[in-house]
Every structure is written in structure tokens, then in C-alpha cells.
Homo-oligomer: A and B are copies of this chain.
Amino acid sequence: MENIRLTSYDEVAEILRECDNVTILTHKSPDGDCIGAGMGLCLYLRSLGKHANVVNSDGFPDRYDFMTLDYQPEEFEEKFVISVDISDTSLLGDELESYADKIDLCIDHHGSNRFFAKKSYVDASSSAACLIIFELLTHMGADITLPIATNLYTGLATDTGCFKFQNTTPAAHIAAAKLMEMGVDFEHINRKMFDIKSRNRVLAEQRLISDMRFFEDGQIGFMTITNQAISDFHIDRSELDAFAQIPLTIEGVRFGYTLKQVENTFKVSLRTTDADAAAICGEFGGGGHLRAAGCTIEGKMREIYARILEVTRKYL
């Protein structure tokens, strides 16, 4: 069967109106955008009298508690499966692996999307999956309640670095304006998502920055988060996502790598100022966005540095 690419909100809206008993899948290591998009969509479907749940392989991290306040899983016989913010079935994670060939509708904003679902709506120009959901619900004339708005704002803010990053669009600002008018407590959300750190985390960041390694006149920066550092500083693994932004904050760095030890492999995050991060990570079987991408590399740390350096030098 041909996988169908949807190109309009009308087409997606029609599917959403018809579906019921929906399982919404978000990616493993869930972040603000996939949780926001999943929850926003789920709460909306429920408001139409439909049954819907949001699931992922790793559960919802504590720091996103405020997004799931109005959510309890329901019991129902699943009839329809939607994935949000998932570009590839490998991101389903172990618990949801069996869904790989059972996804009816994929809603995503990654240019690297592999069109694994029966039908896909992918808008790589959209700042966030939450922005797609916001525009879709607006298009459908939905009553966007405060819990829905809170979820959508959070995903939009977290995926754009609070409207700082290159992927921020005028449409993202306009959506933020409308979501704020619905009463979203953006000040609290942004403090929680971006500003507040435990003293432990501040100390951890200090150590990690001090230990950073730089190459090519400081244009390439590596921050390495070992299992030892994670346990020394009692860092919650869900907090680690934010660390990926750190290397690029050092003056002169154009390629900011974060290497995070996960058992015997390293999960690599790359942030760039002007190079194509998705292309670089693509050379290691990963992917992502133009300025933010990731991949997983096996091997010893020293070898991994060398392999990454070799590839990165082509993009200098």
C-alpha cells in the first residue's frame, strides 16, 4: 500500500473528525513538544466525546507534570493510532516498537520524516509539532481550553528555545500571542522550562563546561556527560535534554556537541550556528533539524571524538 502524504489541514481534520478510540504515540525520551502536541490533541479529541490516550516508551518526566494535570489514561479498545513529532519508527522506543507498522496518521514537523505511517502530514517549515496542532485545531474551529493551550504553548516555547532559535517563524509568534490570550501562565512555564535550575544542576554545568574540549580554533566544542557525572551530581536524566544547548553558548563555537553516555553507547546531540546539523548527524545514521540534530554512536569515547571530528571538518 502506498503511504499517503496529506497536504492540507482539511484532510487531517476530516480524519480526526472520523476517528475514535485513538492511541497517540509520542517519541521516546519525550520532550515538551511531543508531550504538548500529544496532550493537546488528546484533550481536544476527548472534548469531542471521543476516547483517546497518549503513550510513550519512557513515561512523562516529572518536569512536565503541569502539562499532564488534566490527563488520566482511559480504557478502550484501540481503533486508530496517531504519532506526533516522530520522524522515524526507531524513535518509538522499546515499549512502542510493535506500533511501527500500525500507525494510521503521522503528524510531524521534521524534514527528515520517513513517511512510515499510512497517512502523514509533515510540515518541515513549522517551528513545532505543537504549532501544527494549534493551527489544525484553530482550522477546525476547536474550543482551545486552557489545559490544551498550556500544552501547545509549552511545546512551541521549548522547541524554539523560547522564540530564540532559527526555527522560530512569524506564525510561531502569532500562535504564542493567541495562546497567551487564552490565559496560559507563560511566565511560570518559561521559568520552569528555561531558567530555574537546582544548585546541583548549576554545579554540574560548571563541571561539564570546565571539562569541555575544543577543536579547530574553538569552532568545535564537545561536552561529555558520563554516567559518573550524572550520578555524582544527582542529575535527573530528563534534565539532560537542556544540556545540549550549552556548548553553543561558548563564544566562537559553531558546532556544539553533547555526548551523553547511555549504557555502552553515546547519544550525540549537535547544535550548530550555521551548518546543517541534520546532514552531519545523518552521516552517523541520525537526523533532526537544520540547527539541532542527533545520532547514536557506539565505541570508545576517544574513537567517537575522532570520527565526529573527521565528519565535522567537511562542514567547517
Chain A residues at the B interface, C-beta cutoff of 8 Å: 161-166, 168-171, 173-174, 176-178, 180-181, 186-187, 190-191, 194-199, 202, 206, 209-210, 245, 248-251, 273
The reply to whether B176 and A249 contact each other, CB–CB distance below 8 Å, is: no
Are the CB atoms of B165 and A198 closer together than 8 Å? Answer: no
Within the complex, the shortest CB–CB distance from A303 to chain B, in Å, comes to 27
Best-surrounded residue of A168, A173, A209 (most CB of chain B within 10 A): A173
Looking across the interface, which residue of chain B has its beta carbon closest to that of A198? B251
Cα–Cα, bound, A163→B163 (Å): 7
CB <8 Å contact, A164 and B194? yes
Most buried by B among A164, A170, A202: A164
**B173→A249 contact, CB < 8 A:** no
Residue of B nearest to A188 (CB): B273
* Known A-B contacts A170-B177, A173-B176, A177-B170; A251 and B162 likewise in contact (beta carbons under 8 Å): no
Give the secondary structure class of A's interface.
helix
Q: Note all chain B residues with C-beta closer than 8 A to A273.
A: 191
A191, B249: Cα distance in complex, Å:
8
Q: What residues of B have a CB within 8 angstroms of the CB of A198 in the complex?
A: 251
Q: Smallest Cβ distance from A248 to chain B, in angstroms?
A: 7
Measured between beta carbons, the chain B residues less than 8 angstroms from A181 are 170
State whether A250 and B176 are in contact (beta carbons under 8 Å apart), knowing that A187-B165, A273-B191 are contacts in the complex. Answer: no
Give every chain B residue within 8 A of A194 (Cβ-Cβ): 164
- CB-defined contacts of A163 to chain B, threshold 8 Å: 162-163, 173, 176
B177 with A173: CB separation less than 8 A: yes
State whether A187 touches B166 (Cβ < 8 A): yes
Instruction: Pick the contact of A164: B162, B173, B174, B199 (CB < 8 A).
Output: B162
- Which B residues are in CB contact (< 8 Å) with A168? 180, 186-187
User: Which residues on B sit within 8 Å (CB–CB) of A199?
Assistant: 250-251
Question: Smallest Cβ distance from A170 to chain B, in angstroms?
Answer: 4
Min CB distance, A222 to chain B, in Å?
14
- Complex Cα distance, B181 from A202, in Å, reads 37
Which residue of the partner chain, among B169, B177, B251, contacts A196 with CB atoms under 8 Å? Answer: B251
For A194, give the chain B residue with the smallest CB separation. B164
CB-defined A-B contacts under 8 Å, sample of 24: A161-B190, A162-B162, A162-B164, A163-B176, A164-B186, A164-B187, A164-B195, A166-B187, A168-B186, A170-B176, A170-B178, A170-B181, A173-B177, A173-B180, A174-B174, A174-B177, A195-B245, A195-B249, A197-B249, A197-B250, A199-B250, A206-B206, A206-B209, A206-B210
A155 to chain B, nearest CB (A): 15
Q: Residues of B contacting A161 with CB < 8 Å?
A: 190
| A196 close to B162 (CB less than 8 A) | no
